[in-house]
Amino acid sequence: MSDQIYQAAAIGRAKPNFRVIAMIVASAMFMEQLDATVLATALPTMARDFGVSAPSMSIALTSYLLSLAIFIPARGLIADRFGSRTVFRSAIAVFMAGSIFCALSPNLLCLVLARLLQGLGGAMMLPVGRLVLLRSVDRKDMVNAMSWLLVPALIGPILGPPVGGLIVTYLDWRWIFYINVPIGIIGFTLVSIFIEDFKGEAKRPFDTIGFILSGIALGSLLFGFESSSRPGEGAFSLFLIAVGMLFGIAYLKHARRHPSPIMDFSLMKVPSFGTSVIAGSLTRITQGAQPFLLPLYFQLGFGLSAAKAGQLVTAAAIGSMAMKAFAPRVLRRFGFRNALVANGVIATFGYALCAAFRPDWPLGLIFAILVMCGFFMSFQFTAYNTVAYDEIDRDRMSSATSFYTTFQQLMLSLGICVGALALHTSMVANGSQTPQLHDFSAAFLFVTAISITATFWNLRFSRSAGADISGHDAGKAAHASEH
Protein backbone atom coordinates (compact mmCIF):
# COMPACT_ATOMS: atom_id res chain seq x y z
CA MET A 1 0.00 0.00 0.00
CA SER A 2 2.79 2.42 0.91
CA ASP A 3 4.50 1.66 -2.43
CA GLN A 4 1.35 2.68 -4.27
CA ILE A 5 1.21 5.94 -2.36
CA TYR A 6 4.82 6.77 -3.20
CA GLN A 7 4.26 5.86 -6.86
CA ALA A 8 1.21 8.12 -6.98
CA ALA A 9 3.18 10.91 -5.37
CA ALA A 10 5.98 10.47 -7.90
CA ILE A 11 3.52 10.57 -10.79
CA GLY A 12 1.87 13.66 -9.32
CA ARG A 13 5.21 15.46 -9.14
CA ALA A 14 6.38 14.29 -12.54
CA LYS A 15 3.30 15.47 -14.41
CA PRO A 16 1.48 18.03 -12.33
CA ASN A 17 -1.97 18.89 -13.63
CA PHE A 18 -2.75 22.58 -13.48
CA ARG A 19 -6.19 21.89 -11.98
CA VAL A 20 -4.67 19.88 -9.14
CA ILE A 21 -2.02 22.52 -8.54
CA ALA A 22 -4.65 25.27 -8.70
CA MET A 23 -6.72 23.50 -6.03
CA ILE A 24 -3.70 23.09 -3.74
CA VAL A 25 -2.69 26.73 -4.13
CA ALA A 26 -6.33 27.68 -3.60
CA SER A 27 -6.25 25.75 -0.31
CA ALA A 28 -3.46 28.04 0.85
CA MET A 29 -5.50 31.02 -0.33
CA PHE A 30 -8.47 29.59 1.57
CA MET A 31 -6.44 29.61 4.79
CA GLU A 32 -5.30 33.19 4.25
CA GLN A 33 -8.69 34.52 3.16
CA LEU A 34 -10.49 32.75 5.99
CA ASP A 35 -8.02 34.26 8.45
CA ALA A 36 -8.44 37.78 7.07
CA THR A 37 -12.24 37.77 6.82
CA VAL A 38 -12.74 36.12 10.21
CA LEU A 39 -10.44 38.70 11.78
CA ALA A 40 -12.26 41.64 10.17
CA THR A 41 -15.54 40.57 11.78
CA ALA A 42 -13.88 40.24 15.20
CA LEU A 43 -12.14 43.64 15.25
CA PRO A 44 -14.69 45.43 17.50
CA THR A 45 -14.54 42.63 20.08
CA MET A 46 -10.74 42.51 19.98
CA ALA A 47 -10.63 46.30 20.35
CA ARG A 48 -12.61 46.06 23.59
CA ASP A 49 -10.30 43.34 24.93
CA PHE A 50 -7.17 45.35 24.12
CA GLY A 51 -8.66 48.63 25.36
CA VAL A 52 -8.33 50.52 22.06
CA SER A 53 -10.78 52.09 19.62
CA ALA A 54 -12.22 49.99 16.81
CA PRO A 55 -10.68 52.11 13.98
CA SER A 56 -7.26 51.68 15.63
CA MET A 57 -7.54 47.93 15.03
CA SER A 58 -6.91 48.56 11.33
CA ILE A 59 -3.23 48.07 12.14
CA ALA A 60 -3.97 44.38 12.80
CA LEU A 61 -4.94 44.08 9.12
CA THR A 62 -2.35 46.41 7.62
CA SER A 63 0.59 44.89 9.53
CA TYR A 64 -0.06 41.53 7.88
CA LEU A 65 -0.47 43.02 4.41
CA LEU A 66 2.61 45.17 5.01
CA SER A 67 4.67 42.07 5.72
CA LEU A 68 3.38 40.57 2.48
CA ALA A 69 4.39 43.66 0.51
CA ILE A 70 7.90 43.72 2.02
CA PHE A 71 8.78 40.05 1.60
CA ILE A 72 6.98 39.12 -1.63
CA PRO A 73 9.67 40.73 -3.84
CA ALA A 74 12.26 38.33 -2.43
CA ARG A 75 10.24 35.19 -2.97
CA GLY A 76 11.04 34.81 -6.68
CA LEU A 77 14.77 34.41 -6.09
CA ILE A 78 14.19 32.30 -2.97
CA ALA A 79 11.92 29.89 -4.86
CA ASP A 80 14.36 29.66 -7.76
CA ARG A 81 17.25 28.94 -5.42
CA PHE A 82 15.68 26.53 -2.91
CA GLY A 83 12.85 24.99 -4.94
CA SER A 84 9.14 25.73 -5.08
CA ARG A 85 8.04 22.76 -2.95
CA THR A 86 10.58 23.50 -0.21
CA VAL A 87 9.60 27.18 -0.06
CA PHE A 88 5.88 26.43 -0.21
CA ARG A 89 6.04 23.97 2.70
CA SER A 90 8.22 26.29 4.77
CA ALA A 91 5.82 29.15 4.15
CA ILE A 92 2.84 27.13 5.38
CA ALA A 93 4.78 26.21 8.53
CA VAL A 94 5.70 29.85 9.21
CA PHE A 95 2.08 30.93 8.65
CA MET A 96 0.87 28.35 11.17
CA ALA A 97 3.47 29.48 13.72
CA GLY A 98 2.37 33.09 13.25
CA SER A 99 -1.25 32.06 13.76
CA ILE A 100 -0.42 30.40 17.07
CA PHE A 101 1.44 33.48 18.29
CA CYS A 102 -1.54 35.64 17.26
CA ALA A 103 -3.83 33.50 19.38
CA LEU A 104 -1.51 33.90 22.37
CA SER A 105 -1.11 37.70 22.03
CA PRO A 106 -1.85 39.58 25.29
CA ASN A 107 -2.03 43.05 23.67
CA LEU A 108 -2.22 44.87 20.34
CA LEU A 109 1.57 45.26 20.00
CA CYS A 110 2.16 41.50 20.31
CA LEU A 111 -0.67 40.86 17.87
CA VAL A 112 0.94 43.19 15.31
CA LEU A 113 4.31 41.43 15.67
CA ALA A 114 2.65 38.02 15.26
CA ARG A 115 0.76 39.25 12.20
CA LEU A 116 4.08 40.35 10.68
CA LEU A 117 5.31 36.77 11.11
CA GLN A 118 2.13 35.48 9.48
CA GLY A 119 2.73 37.86 6.60
CA LEU A 120 6.21 36.43 6.09
CA GLY A 121 4.65 33.01 5.56
CA GLY A 122 1.94 34.40 3.31
CA ALA A 123 4.50 36.28 1.22
CA MET A 124 6.17 33.00 0.30
CA MET A 125 3.04 30.87 0.07
CA LEU A 126 0.72 32.30 -2.58
CA PRO A 127 3.13 33.83 -5.11
CA VAL A 128 5.16 30.60 -5.28
CA GLY A 129 1.99 28.63 -5.91
CA ARG A 130 0.86 31.09 -8.57
CA LEU A 131 4.29 30.91 -10.23
CA VAL A 132 4.11 27.11 -10.39
CA LEU A 133 0.64 27.35 -11.92
CA LEU A 134 1.68 29.91 -14.54
CA ARG A 135 4.63 27.74 -15.57
CA SER A 136 2.49 24.63 -15.95
CA VAL A 137 -0.49 25.93 -17.95
CA ASP A 138 -0.87 26.63 -21.65
CA ARG A 139 -1.87 30.16 -22.65
CA LYS A 140 -5.21 28.97 -24.02
CA ASP A 141 -6.06 27.56 -20.58
CA MET A 142 -4.96 30.65 -18.64
CA VAL A 143 -8.41 32.08 -17.88
CA ASN A 144 -9.74 28.69 -16.81
CA ALA A 145 -6.66 28.12 -14.66
CA MET A 146 -7.18 31.41 -12.85
CA SER A 147 -10.83 30.51 -12.29
CA TRP A 148 -9.84 27.12 -10.87
CA LEU A 149 -7.38 28.92 -8.63
CA LEU A 150 -9.82 31.51 -7.31
CA VAL A 151 -13.10 29.61 -6.88
CA PRO A 152 -12.06 27.34 -3.97
CA ALA A 153 -10.17 30.24 -2.40
CA LEU A 154 -13.41 32.25 -2.34
CA ILE A 155 -14.88 29.73 0.10
CA GLY A 156 -12.71 31.45 2.72
CA PRO A 157 -14.46 34.83 2.40
CA ILE A 158 -17.84 33.07 2.39
CA LEU A 159 -17.14 31.07 5.55
CA GLY A 160 -15.00 33.75 7.22
CA PRO A 161 -17.59 36.33 8.30
CA PRO A 162 -20.18 33.89 9.74
CA VAL A 163 -17.45 31.76 11.33
CA GLY A 164 -15.91 34.90 12.81
CA GLY A 165 -19.28 36.04 14.08
CA LEU A 166 -20.00 32.67 15.68
CA ILE A 167 -16.54 32.48 17.27
CA VAL A 168 -16.80 36.01 18.69
CA THR A 169 -20.37 35.47 19.86
CA TYR A 170 -20.04 32.02 21.41
CA LEU A 171 -16.29 31.38 21.88
CA ASP A 172 -13.11 33.41 22.31
CA TRP A 173 -11.70 35.42 19.39
CA ARG A 174 -8.38 33.58 19.78
CA TRP A 175 -9.92 30.53 18.11
CA ILE A 176 -9.86 32.60 14.90
CA PHE A 177 -6.16 31.82 14.64
CA TYR A 178 -6.17 28.27 16.00
CA ILE A 179 -8.36 27.07 13.10
CA ASN A 180 -5.44 27.73 10.72
CA VAL A 181 -3.44 24.89 12.24
CA PRO A 182 -5.39 21.86 10.90
CA ILE A 183 -5.86 23.59 7.51
CA GLY A 184 -2.13 24.23 7.33
CA ILE A 185 -1.28 20.63 8.15
CA ILE A 186 -3.49 19.40 5.29
CA GLY A 187 -1.92 21.91 2.90
CA PHE A 188 1.61 20.92 3.97
CA THR A 189 0.82 17.28 3.19
CA LEU A 190 -0.72 17.98 -0.24
CA VAL A 191 2.21 20.19 -1.27
CA SER A 192 4.63 17.40 -0.31
CA ILE A 193 2.79 14.95 -2.56
CA PHE A 194 1.82 16.94 -5.65
CA ILE A 195 3.96 20.08 -6.04
CA GLU A 196 7.10 19.72 -8.14
CA ASP A 197 10.29 21.05 -6.52
CA PHE A 198 11.10 23.37 -9.42
CA LYS A 199 14.31 25.39 -9.25
CA GLY A 200 15.25 28.23 -11.55
CA GLU A 201 18.17 27.72 -13.88
CA ALA A 202 19.60 31.22 -13.60
CA LYS A 203 21.60 31.94 -10.46
CA ARG A 204 20.92 35.62 -10.08
CA PRO A 205 22.58 37.48 -7.22
CA PHE A 206 20.25 38.45 -4.41
CA ASP A 207 19.64 42.20 -4.32
CA THR A 208 20.29 42.76 -0.62
CA ILE A 209 20.53 46.55 -0.82
CA GLY A 210 17.37 46.72 -2.92
CA PHE A 211 15.54 44.47 -0.45
CA ILE A 212 16.48 46.78 2.45
CA LEU A 213 15.63 49.99 0.58
CA SER A 214 12.29 48.70 -0.74
CA GLY A 215 11.38 47.24 2.66
CA ILE A 216 12.00 50.52 4.48
CA ALA A 217 10.15 52.47 1.78
CA LEU A 218 7.09 50.21 1.78
CA GLY A 219 7.01 49.87 5.56
CA SER A 220 7.33 53.60 6.20
CA LEU A 221 4.70 54.54 3.64
CA LEU A 222 2.12 52.03 4.84
CA PHE A 223 2.57 52.70 8.54
CA GLY A 224 2.62 56.41 7.78
CA PHE A 225 -0.75 56.19 6.04
CA GLU A 226 -2.08 53.89 8.76
CA SER A 227 -0.99 56.14 11.65
CA SER A 228 -2.53 59.16 9.93
CA SER A 229 -5.95 57.69 10.74
CA ARG A 230 -5.25 57.83 14.49
CA PRO A 231 -5.68 61.04 16.51
CA GLY A 232 -2.59 62.89 17.66
CA GLU A 233 -0.17 61.18 15.28
CA GLY A 234 -0.28 63.56 12.32
CA ALA A 235 3.33 64.75 12.64
CA PHE A 236 4.64 61.20 13.09
CA SER A 237 2.68 59.94 10.07
CA LEU A 238 4.07 62.75 7.90
CA PHE A 239 7.57 61.85 9.04
CA LEU A 240 7.05 58.19 8.09
CA ILE A 241 5.61 59.11 4.69
CA ALA A 242 8.58 61.40 4.00
CA VAL A 243 11.02 58.64 4.96
CA GLY A 244 9.17 56.20 2.73
CA MET A 245 9.33 58.53 -0.25
CA LEU A 246 13.06 59.20 0.24
CA PHE A 247 13.91 55.49 0.44
CA GLY A 248 11.61 54.82 -2.51
CA ILE A 249 13.54 57.31 -4.62
CA ALA A 250 16.80 55.76 -3.43
CA TYR A 251 15.54 52.31 -4.47
CA LEU A 252 14.57 53.51 -7.95
CA LYS A 253 18.07 54.91 -8.48
CA HIS A 254 19.59 51.67 -7.19
CA ALA A 255 17.35 49.51 -9.40
CA ARG A 256 18.59 51.25 -12.55
CA ARG A 257 22.17 50.15 -11.79
CA HIS A 258 21.57 46.62 -10.44
CA PRO A 259 21.62 43.73 -12.99
CA SER A 260 18.70 41.93 -11.29
CA PRO A 261 16.80 44.30 -8.97
CA ILE A 262 14.45 42.76 -6.45
CA MET A 263 11.59 44.68 -8.10
CA ASP A 264 12.15 45.10 -11.82
CA PHE A 265 10.40 48.34 -12.81
CA SER A 266 11.40 47.79 -16.44
CA LEU A 267 8.44 45.40 -16.55
CA MET A 268 6.18 48.46 -16.47
CA LYS A 269 7.27 49.15 -20.06
CA VAL A 270 5.40 45.99 -21.16
CA PRO A 271 2.03 47.52 -22.22
CA SER A 272 -0.46 44.97 -20.89
CA PHE A 273 1.53 44.41 -17.69
CA GLY A 274 2.11 48.08 -16.85
CA THR A 275 -1.49 49.08 -17.56
CA SER A 276 -2.82 46.16 -15.50
CA VAL A 277 -0.61 47.10 -12.55
CA ILE A 278 -1.76 50.75 -12.52
CA ALA A 279 -5.47 50.15 -13.19
CA GLY A 280 -5.56 47.16 -10.87
CA SER A 281 -3.82 49.11 -8.10
CA LEU A 282 -6.41 51.90 -8.21
CA THR A 283 -9.24 49.37 -8.09
CA ARG A 284 -7.66 47.40 -5.26
CA ILE A 285 -7.66 50.44 -3.00
CA THR A 286 -11.45 50.29 -3.06
CA GLN A 287 -11.50 46.52 -2.68
CA GLY A 288 -9.00 46.60 0.20
CA ALA A 289 -11.12 49.04 2.20
CA GLN A 290 -14.24 46.83 2.16
CA PRO A 291 -13.17 44.09 4.64
CA PHE A 292 -12.36 46.87 7.12
CA LEU A 293 -15.34 49.19 6.55
CA LEU A 294 -18.25 46.77 6.07
CA PRO A 295 -18.05 44.80 9.37
CA LEU A 296 -17.62 48.05 11.35
CA TYR A 297 -20.46 49.64 9.37
CA PHE A 298 -22.91 46.90 10.22
CA GLN A 299 -21.86 46.51 13.87
CA LEU A 300 -21.26 50.15 14.91
CA GLY A 301 -23.58 51.89 12.43
CA PHE A 302 -26.46 49.42 12.30
CA GLY A 303 -26.07 47.91 15.79
CA LEU A 304 -25.99 44.36 14.42
CA SER A 305 -24.29 41.51 16.24
CA ALA A 306 -20.97 40.17 14.96
CA ALA A 307 -22.74 37.01 13.76
CA LYS A 308 -25.39 38.97 11.82
CA ALA A 309 -22.80 41.33 10.33
CA GLY A 310 -20.74 38.32 9.26
CA GLN A 311 -23.70 36.83 7.44
CA LEU A 312 -24.21 40.05 5.46
CA VAL A 313 -20.55 40.34 4.48
CA THR A 314 -20.64 36.83 2.96
CA ALA A 315 -22.75 38.27 0.13
CA ALA A 316 -19.75 39.72 -1.71
CA ALA A 317 -17.93 36.39 -1.62
CA ILE A 318 -21.01 34.56 -2.91
CA GLY A 319 -21.16 37.00 -5.81
CA SER A 320 -17.47 36.39 -6.50
CA MET A 321 -18.00 32.65 -6.77
CA ALA A 322 -21.03 33.06 -9.03
CA MET A 323 -18.97 35.13 -11.48
CA LYS A 324 -16.25 32.57 -12.15
CA ALA A 325 -18.34 30.48 -14.54
CA PHE A 326 -19.03 33.57 -16.70
CA ALA A 327 -15.51 35.03 -16.96
CA PRO A 328 -14.17 32.93 -19.89
CA ARG A 329 -17.33 33.44 -21.96
CA VAL A 330 -17.55 37.20 -21.30
CA LEU A 331 -13.89 37.74 -22.14
CA ARG A 332 -14.22 35.65 -25.30
CA ARG A 333 -17.25 37.67 -26.40
CA PHE A 334 -16.09 41.20 -25.58
CA GLY A 335 -12.31 41.01 -25.10
CA PHE A 336 -10.29 42.26 -22.14
CA ARG A 337 -10.37 45.99 -22.95
CA ASN A 338 -14.12 46.37 -23.45
CA ALA A 339 -14.95 44.13 -20.51
CA LEU A 340 -12.59 45.94 -18.12
CA VAL A 341 -13.90 49.40 -19.06
CA ALA A 342 -17.61 48.59 -18.74
CA ASN A 343 -17.35 46.22 -15.79
CA GLY A 344 -15.04 48.57 -13.88
CA VAL A 345 -17.66 51.33 -13.88
CA ILE A 346 -20.41 48.92 -12.78
CA ALA A 347 -18.27 47.41 -9.99
CA THR A 348 -17.31 50.83 -8.62
CA PHE A 349 -20.91 52.05 -8.71
CA GLY A 350 -21.95 48.97 -6.74
CA TYR A 351 -19.63 49.75 -3.85
CA ALA A 352 -20.60 53.43 -3.99
CA LEU A 353 -24.18 52.30 -3.25
CA CYS A 354 -22.95 51.07 0.13
CA ALA A 355 -22.78 54.73 1.19
CA ALA A 356 -26.58 54.85 1.02
CA PHE A 357 -27.16 51.83 3.31
CA ARG A 358 -29.24 52.64 6.38
CA PRO A 359 -30.63 50.48 9.22
CA ASP A 360 -34.20 50.75 7.87
CA TRP A 361 -33.20 49.18 4.54
CA PRO A 362 -34.38 45.57 4.06
CA LEU A 363 -31.43 43.30 4.84
CA GLY A 364 -32.33 41.24 1.78
CA LEU A 365 -31.78 44.26 -0.46
CA ILE A 366 -28.42 45.04 1.18
CA PHE A 367 -27.41 41.41 0.73
CA ALA A 368 -28.38 41.49 -2.97
CA ILE A 369 -26.38 44.68 -3.60
CA LEU A 370 -23.30 43.16 -1.94
CA VAL A 371 -23.69 40.02 -4.08
CA MET A 372 -23.65 42.27 -7.13
CA CYS A 373 -20.56 44.10 -5.82
CA GLY A 374 -18.69 40.84 -5.35
CA PHE A 375 -19.76 39.53 -8.77
CA PHE A 376 -18.50 42.49 -10.80
CA MET A 377 -15.41 43.26 -8.73
CA SER A 378 -14.28 39.64 -8.85
CA PHE A 379 -14.56 39.66 -12.63
CA GLN A 380 -12.41 42.78 -12.72
CA PHE A 381 -9.59 41.16 -10.78
CA THR A 382 -9.79 37.91 -12.74
CA ALA A 383 -9.29 39.92 -15.93
CA TYR A 384 -6.47 42.05 -14.48
CA ASN A 385 -4.63 39.03 -13.07
CA THR A 386 -4.80 37.24 -16.42
CA VAL A 387 -4.10 39.95 -19.01
CA ALA A 388 -1.12 41.20 -16.98
CA TYR A 389 0.96 38.22 -18.17
CA ASP A 390 -0.17 38.35 -21.79
CA GLU A 391 3.14 39.74 -23.08
CA ILE A 392 5.50 38.39 -20.41
CA ASP A 393 8.11 35.85 -21.53
CA ARG A 394 8.44 32.71 -19.43
CA ASP A 395 11.98 33.60 -18.37
CA ARG A 396 10.63 36.83 -16.81
CA MET A 397 7.58 35.20 -15.27
CA SER A 398 9.17 34.91 -11.81
CA SER A 399 10.10 38.60 -11.69
CA ALA A 400 6.69 39.59 -13.06
CA THR A 401 4.71 37.60 -10.49
CA SER A 402 6.86 39.05 -7.67
CA PHE A 403 6.37 42.59 -8.92
CA TYR A 404 2.65 42.22 -9.59
CA THR A 405 1.87 40.48 -6.31
CA THR A 406 3.84 43.08 -4.35
CA PHE A 407 1.75 45.92 -5.78
CA GLN A 408 -1.41 43.87 -5.35
CA GLN A 409 -0.81 43.44 -1.62
CA LEU A 410 0.50 46.98 -1.23
CA MET A 411 -2.68 48.45 -2.69
CA LEU A 412 -4.92 46.21 -0.58
CA SER A 413 -3.01 47.45 2.48
CA LEU A 414 -3.30 51.02 1.29
CA GLY A 415 -7.04 50.49 0.81
CA ILE A 416 -7.42 49.68 4.52
CA CYS A 417 -5.34 52.75 5.40
CA VAL A 418 -7.34 55.00 3.07
CA GLY A 419 -10.63 53.64 4.39
CA ALA A 420 -9.56 54.19 8.01
CA LEU A 421 -8.22 57.65 7.20
CA ALA A 422 -11.41 58.68 5.39
CA LEU A 423 -13.51 57.39 8.28
CA HIS A 424 -11.41 59.23 10.88
CA THR A 425 -11.33 62.45 8.85
CA SER A 426 -15.11 62.47 8.61
CA MET A 427 -15.37 61.83 12.37
CA VAL A 428 -13.10 64.80 13.10
CA ALA A 429 -14.97 67.05 10.69
CA ASN A 430 -18.31 66.16 12.31
CA GLY A 431 -17.00 66.14 15.90
CA SER A 432 -17.90 62.46 16.38
CA GLN A 433 -16.20 60.36 19.06
CA THR A 434 -17.42 57.11 17.48
CA PRO A 435 -18.15 56.49 13.78
CA GLN A 436 -21.66 57.55 12.70
CA LEU A 437 -23.58 56.48 9.61
CA HIS A 438 -22.63 59.60 7.65
CA ASP A 439 -18.96 58.97 8.50
CA PHE A 440 -19.13 55.54 6.90
CA SER A 441 -20.96 57.01 3.89
CA ALA A 442 -18.17 59.54 3.38
CA ALA A 443 -15.54 56.78 3.61
CA PHE A 444 -17.28 54.61 0.99
CA LEU A 445 -17.65 57.51 -1.43
CA PHE A 446 -14.02 58.51 -1.00
CA VAL A 447 -12.55 55.06 -1.73
CA THR A 448 -14.85 54.48 -4.71
CA ALA A 449 -13.86 57.87 -6.16
CA ILE A 450 -10.34 56.47 -6.37
CA SER A 451 -11.27 53.28 -8.22
CA ILE A 452 -13.36 55.08 -10.84
CA THR A 453 -10.15 56.73 -12.08
CA ALA A 454 -9.00 53.27 -13.22
CA THR A 455 -11.38 53.71 -16.17
CA PHE A 456 -8.92 56.06 -17.87
CA TRP A 457 -6.22 53.39 -17.65
CA ASN A 458 -8.54 50.60 -18.79
CA LEU A 459 -9.11 52.60 -21.97
CA ARG A 460 -5.36 52.41 -22.65
CA PHE A 461 -5.41 48.62 -23.09
CA SER A 462 -4.97 47.57 -26.69
CA ARG A 463 -8.14 46.25 -28.31
CA SER A 464 -6.21 43.05 -29.04
CA ALA A 465 -4.81 42.71 -25.49
CA GLY A 466 -5.04 39.10 -24.34
CA ALA A 467 -6.75 37.99 -27.58
CA ASP A 468 -4.95 34.64 -27.70
CA ILE A 469 -5.78 34.08 -24.01
CA SER A 470 -9.48 34.93 -24.22
CA GLY A 471 -10.06 33.73 -27.78
CA HIS A 472 -11.80 37.04 -28.53
CA ASP A 473 -10.37 37.43 -32.04
CA ALA A 474 -10.99 33.76 -32.75
CA GLY A 475 -14.59 34.29 -31.72
CA LYS A 476 -14.98 37.22 -34.15
CA ALA A 477 -13.39 35.23 -36.96
CA ALA A 478 -15.78 32.34 -36.38
CA HIS A 479 -18.71 34.76 -36.35
CA ALA A 480 -17.58 36.32 -39.65
CA SER A 481 -17.19 32.95 -41.31
CA GLU A 482 -20.81 32.09 -40.51
CA HIS A 483 -21.89 35.07 -42.63
Pairwise CA distance, residues 239 & 249, whole Å? 16
Least confident of 142-146, 306-310, 378-382: 142-146
Return the CATH number of the domain spanning residue range 262-478: 1.20.1250.20
One fold for 16-196 and 262-478: yes
pLDDT band at 345; cut points 50, 70, 90 = very high
Question: In the chain, what are the domain boundaries?
Answer: 16-196, 206-259, 262-478
DSSP string, 297-364: IIIIIS---HHHHHHHHHHHHHHHHHHTTTHHHHHHHHHHHHHHHHHHHHHHHHHHGGGG--TTS-HH
Q: Which of 428-432, 461-465, 478-482 has the lowest mean pLDDT?
A: 478-482
Lowest model confidence (mean pLDDT) among 179-183, 241-245, 291-295, 344-348: 291-295
Quickly state the pLDDT bin for 10 (edges 50, 70, 90): very low
Residue 134 in this model has a pLDDT that exceeds 80 = no
Nearest in space to 378 (alpha carbons), one of 411, 403, 344: 344
- Choices 2.40.50.100, 3.40.1190.20, 1.10.10.10, 1.20.1250.20: CATH for 16-196: 1.20.1250.20
CB 241 within 8 A of CB 224: yes
Query: Which of 110-124, 217-231, 263-277, 284-298 is the least confident region?
Result: 217-231
* Confidence band of 132 (pLDDT split at 50, 70, 90): low
Mean of pLDDT values over 179-201: 77
d(CA 78, CA 72): 10
pTM for this one? 0.71
* Cβ-Cβ contacts under 8 Å for 422 (sequence gap 6 or more): 289, 442, 443, 446, 447
Q: Say what the pLDDT of residue 7 is.
A: 43
Q: Which of 101, 126, 139, 155 is nearest to 24 (CA)?
A: 126
- What percent of the chain has a predicted confidence (pLDDT) above 90? 10
The three-state secondary structure class of 366 is helix
Region 46-61 average pLDDT: 77
Per-residue confidence band for 97, with pLDDT thresholds at 50, 70 and 90: very high
Would the pLDDT of 129 be above 80?
no
